[in-house]
Amino acid sequence: MVGHCLTARKLIALVSAFIVACPDKLQGKINFVTITAGKFSVVSAATVAPAYAIAIEDMSKRYPDIFANHTVIPINVALNFNPGTPDGDWLVVEELVKAYGAGVLQSTDPTIILNSKDNILTLSCGPSKPNPRRYPTNMIVFPGSPFDTGAAVVATMDTFHWKSVAVIWDLCSSLVNAARVEGILRGLLPLLEKRSLDINALVIKMDSTKDAVPFAYYDALWRAGNHSRIVVCGILPRGFRKLMAAAYDIGFTSDNEYVFIYEHILDIPGEHPPEWKQGDNLDLKVRKAFERVLVIRSQPINWTHADTLAERIVQRGSAMFGIPYDPENKFNEIALGCYESVELLSELINRNNLTGQLSDPSAVMQHLKGQTFPLTLRSVTFGPTSARPPVIVLQKFNSSMATFQTISDFDIFSQVWFSNLMHGQLWQPGMIPLDRPVCGIHGERCAAKTSQSTTTIAAVVSIFSAVLATFPLFLYW
């Protein structure tokens, strides 16, 4: 049986896997092979390998019978490209095939299965959309993907009858993690394209690493505002804060007119969810601007609860790879997800006494249906199809508490929000912002009506004048 953890295309630059060798081939011995690939320091082997090491160490103590005879073999693939780019997705496959001569199944999402002809079980510790070509041997650990947040954005527009949207896309081409932005938007833009007949979407590209800022932000905002008052912000968290300060500067946040939507998936070092307070001259602007922001994100993790485990993973990384200790590295949801993948597999085997059935992953998957697993950091629930339903939430900024708070959960199956958002959770009845003013962005709708009315009145006056002019002639005749 093979377990494998792989990142989502465009979201993180990492391919990681752990393989559980079939007991019937290795006389009961379980081999965990961790495979990592990527050049991002926050999601590289130096981050993931320690997470797996800690997980296997903990599970060995928790379930000594299961882990009585096991080995851990770390493998790292050196990549000179970014797996977060369209071409990079295929280069990852080619590199792994070249290095290991493995059979590879490339599906519509970027999950790669090594030795695909074998009977395997895939554990996805990176966001991955379920694919029928792998069913039923794929179970997802993370609570959502860009496809899910993209669907939630469209559902939000449908809820409030918004028919137009502007998408600001910061290319941030000089940053190594620019692919995160494109990864998120690749979950949204295809959905907007499918709805092009009833949703008028405009994509506005900018590059905060090359263009002069804040003028680049001003320009992008003006172009967005000339199209729609609903603006999706495809930008990294630190850039988003500057973008919202720019929105404050040009008056886009002064009235209940503009709505800014921000998608956030997975916390990694240096990229926390949007925060207004950074102790600089932007704080007060951003705090006010955040009142106009809706955040659509995957299930937030309780970092206070996760601190002890995250600390152990970072300390182990320092010991294994000689990386200087940095407490910021603890905020890495990728590493925690990899820990959870090992924990989930261990819980599954223990709960269902599957030690002797590991050679049949299809049978193993049947034991996931409808089950909830209380893991160390959070519970993982699987639906009737052995897949974990994504957990996507909608958050709004609470002005009095100065923080984003969850308003509703997203029903991924019916594609609607569980709470009735029309009943005052976001705006009072009658105060819901319009995607475009009644008279249009530039007043063009009212101008057309005024012009038509003026023409009609002028015509009536002309006819009436003509009648008066001929009236004496009729009297004379």
| pLDDT tens-digit series, residues 197-245 | 999 999 999 999 999 989 999 999 999 999 999 999 999 988 999 999 9
Residue type, 392: I
For residues 431 and 21, give the distance between their C-alpha atoms in angstroms, rounded to a whole number.
59
Q: At what angle do helices 303-321 and 333-352 cross, to 10 degrees?
A: 100
Considering only the top CATH level, what class is 5-143+302-381? alpha beta
Instruction: Tell me the domain boundaries of the chain.
Output: 5-143+302-381, 146-298+400-423
For residues 469 and 161, give the distance between their C-alpha atoms in angstroms, rounded to a whole number.
53
Q: Collapsing DSSP states into helix, strand and coil, what is residue 338?
A: helix
Using alpha carbons, select from 144, 141, 76, 148 the residue that is nearest to residue 337: 141
Q: Any idea of the CA torsion for 390, 169, 257, 394, to the nearest 10 degrees?
A: 10
For residues 164 and 437, give the distance between their C-alpha atoms in angstroms, rounded to a whole number.
11
Number of Cβ within 10 Å of residue 465's Cβ equals 10
Q: What is the pLDDT of residue 258?
A: 94
Q: What is the pLDDT of residue 126?
A: 43
For residues 396 and 408, give the distance between their C-alpha atoms in angstroms, rounded to a whole number.
10
Q: Are 250 and 222 in contact (CB under 8 A)?
A: yes
Predicted TM-score (pTM) of this structure:
0.78
Q: What is the pLDDT of residue 25?
A: 37
From the number of C-beta atoms within 10 Å of its C-beta (0-12, 13-18, 19+), residue 316 rates as middle
Length of the chain counted residue by residue: 477
Q: What is the pLDDT of residue 380?
A: 85
User: Left, alpha or beta for 322 (phi > 0: left; psi -120 to 50: alpha)?
Assistant: left
For the chain, the distance separating the N- and C-terminal CA atoms, rounded to the nearest angstrom, is 109
Q: Could you tell me the fold of the domain covering 146-298+400-423?
A: Rossmann fold (3.40.50)
Would you give the DSSP letter of residue 277? Answer: -
Q: Are 89 and 83 in contact (CB under 8 A)?
A: yes
Q: What is the pLDDT of residue 344?
A: 86
Tell me whether domains 5-143+302-381 and 146-298+400-423 share a fold.
yes
Residues of the chain with pLDDT under 70: 1-44, 71-142, 354-363, 385-387, 422-423, 440-445, 447-477
Q: Tokens representing 5? A: 């953890």
The H or E element spanning position 453 is helix 444-476
CB proximity list for 279: less than 8 A, separation 6 or greater: none
